[in-house]
Amino acid sequence: MAIVEGAKGSVRDHDRLIEAIAARADREAFAALFAHFAPRVKAFLMRSGTAADLAEELAQETLVTVWRKAALFDASKAGASAWIFAIARNLRIDAARRQRREMLHAMAEEPEPELAPPPDHDMEAGERQKRVRAALDHLPGEQRRIVELSFFEGRAHGDIAGLLDIPLGTVKSRLRLAMNRMRSLLGDLT
Amino acid sequence: MTVTHHPTEATLAAFAAGTLDEGRMLVVAAHLAACPECRRTVRMLEATGGVLLDDLPPVDVGSDALARAMAEIDGGGRDAGLSARPGRGGEVIPGLSPAHQTLLASYEMGPWRWVGPGVSWRQIETPTLPGGRVFLLKAAGGTALPDHTHTGTELTCVLTGAFRHEHGRYGPGDVDEADDEVDHTPIVEPGGECICLVAMQGRLKLNGLLGKVLQPFVRL
């Protein structure tokens, strides 16, 4: 197969690949998606403390889940990477809790009939991802680091305080500042 | 329904990261069902997770990983959504929004138990939750909830009705986050009853004479 392991496609391409899986069970699209995301999902899981073997197994399961749930993917709501991140996050949790947690996270997507603004269909997934990346780059390094450790790697605030040798209150205030900053930059985005 | 009290940034981030325990996760989900603003925040965090994921340096996966994934795909089908879960036989809890009914439908619950005059609670079974507990708390209009302090954190989402304490009024969808430094006496607004979803870590300590009398029976 002529796919370079870990090749970086454009963001829109990833959305199209998932749509191709949904529309016609496109195995080449799956292989391309796998080549990009499986090594990254494995890296993500290893960062949050999962052993390499299990991380590989769960990365594989993440991509298989992408195949199975491709019909639920909606590029106007979340880009491919955000969607795959959410799947990998749910798998990071032990199997006993998994099903319920998925349902609880699905609450975050429940549309509010009276209040929700119509989704911005004009916004291309690539544009959204670019803006999120710009907002992240806009954060002071110390705040970005807290976002990575706390939110992405799922570490407890106490661990982060120890790791960075800063008081617990500083961890909390940096996370709060980072989230407020991102909300003000991206409030119109989703 | 206008929500004015939201979970802290740290709690929302932990929800989006999947690191909250099941009880607190359930309470945050109840808030999200009522709060478009926090739903946007969670989506923003997931988009952020996606960008961070995309930017990670890839690590090697086994040369047969794709082949094994393909084999698994061939073995199973594709599903269209979440499968149905067992529930409490369609029991409806009066006064709750449809979204909150749905949220709680898959959980086994104990019976309502009396805690004090006008106040009862109902255990929600979460076998995956060690050292914490989650329950419904129901109080009649005008009731003062037992004066209490905690040994851990308490996360509450109002499902119906409203209560007040020194930090303001809490109506449907509002979240109250309290830690072990808080000593509060919530009072339910006169009129209808108030039902809250409460996730607690550690133990609840009831203060005052009533508390001393009740503590051995309540086991909260």
**Closest residue of chain B to A172, computed from CA coordinates:** B10
Highest mean pLDDT among A102-116, B24-38, B175-189: B24-38
Q: pLDDT tens digits, residue range A93-127?
A: 754 465 566 677 777 776 544 444 444 545 666 78
d(CA B43, CA A109): 8
Q: pLDDT tens digits, residue range A74-94?
A: 888 888 999 999 999 888 875
With contact defined as beta carbons under 8 Å apart, do A150 and A171 qualify? yes
Q: Would the CB atoms of A106 and B127 count as touching at under 8 Å?
A: no
Domain regions of chain B by residue span: 1-56+97-220
Q: Region A117-140: what's the mean pLDDT?
A: 75
Per-residue pLDDT, B46: 92
Per mean pLDDT, which range of A49-53, A131-135, A165-169, A178-182 is the poorest?
A49-53
Q: Would the CB atoms of B18 and A106 count as touching at under 8 Å?
A: no
**Closest residue of chain B to A21, computed from CA coordinates:** B78
Cβ contacts of residue A111 below 8 Å, gap of 6+? none
Per-residue pLDDT, B183: 65
Q: pLDDT tens digits, residue range A52-66?
A: 988 999 999 999 999
CB of A70 within 8 Å of any CB in chain B? yes
Q: How far is B66 from chain A (nearest CA, A)?
A: 7
Per mean pLDDT, which range of A44-48, A185-189, B31-35 is the poorest?
A185-189
CB of B130 within 8 Å of any CB in chain A? no
Is residue A11 scored above 90 in pLDDT? no
CB of B73 within 8 Å of any CB in chain A? yes
CATH 1.20.1440.130: does it fit domain A125-186?
no
More confident call, A165 vs B212:
A165
Q: Region A163-180: what's the mean pLDDT?
A: 94
Q: Region B160-182: what's the mean pLDDT?
A: 88
Cβ contacts of residue A2 below 8 Å, gap of 6+? none
Per-residue pLDDT, A114: 41
The CATH number assigned to the domain with range B1-56+97-220 reads 2.60.120.10
Is residue B89 scored above 80 in pLDDT? no
Q: Region A35-61: what's the mean pLDDT?
A: 91
Domain regions of chain A by residue span: 11-109, 125-186
Is residue A13 scored above 80 in pLDDT? yes
d(CA B33, CA B21): 18
Mean pLDDT computed over every residue of chain A:
83
CB of A76 within 8 Å of any CB in chain B? no
Three-state SS for B168?
A: strand
Q: Which of the following CATH numbers is that of domain A11-109: 2.30.110.10, 3.40.50.620, 1.10.287.110, 1.10.1740.10?
A: 1.10.1740.10
